[in-house]
Amino acid sequence: MTMCDRLSERMVAVARGESSWTEEEAAHVASCRDCGSEWRVVSAAAAVGARLPELNIARISARVRERLAEPATSIESGLRARGRGRWTNWAIGLAAAAMLVLAVRLTRKPPTPVPPIAVESALVLSELDELSASELEEVLTELDGSGGVPGADGSGLGDLTADELERVLRSWEG
């Protein structure tokens, strides 16, 4: 057992005046940060306890005997009366919580639906960056005339030569 553990166990007895520190223990409490903090808390609690009035054990035990001697029906009716008040308080609290939940739910706006995004049939091809103005005009004319991507319906690819088809496939590969 360390010195700190030993002193921690003795602090209450020293604070009550039932024991006292040795010179070595007093030096340790003064130098050890943890023991010093604990001693300040224990001694402050003992000081607060010393200011409290002394318990009148005879009066407390007499009151307990009186309550035990009372007929059981009067004790039960007193408990029922107190219990009814507690249940009433619980019911009121529960009703208030339910009202609060309802108020929050009813005043909260429903989420607004997100309008559908209009998707334009825009075709983005990075291969178009390298085309000249005249080539871009030809592509635009082809797209406007056919209503879509050339060859998308399967037509038009058969008209390509082997070299042109190979260039198209390479351009699609990136």
pLDDT tens for residues 149-166?
A: 555 555 566 677 778 777
- Round the average pLDDT of the chain to a whole number and report it: 75
Q: Give the angle 127-131-134 at the CA atoms, nearest 5°.
A: 145
Q: Give residue-wise pLDDT tens across range 95-136.
A: 877 777 777 666 666 666 666 655 555 555 666 677 777 877
Q: Which residues contact 27 (CB under 8 A, 6 or more apart)?
A: none
Give the pLDDT mean for 10-27: 90
pTM, two decimals, is: 0.34
- As a whole number of angstroms, the distance between CA 61 and CA 99 comes to 47
CA dihedral 6, 7, 13, 19 (to 10 degrees): 100
pLDDT of 26 above 90: yes
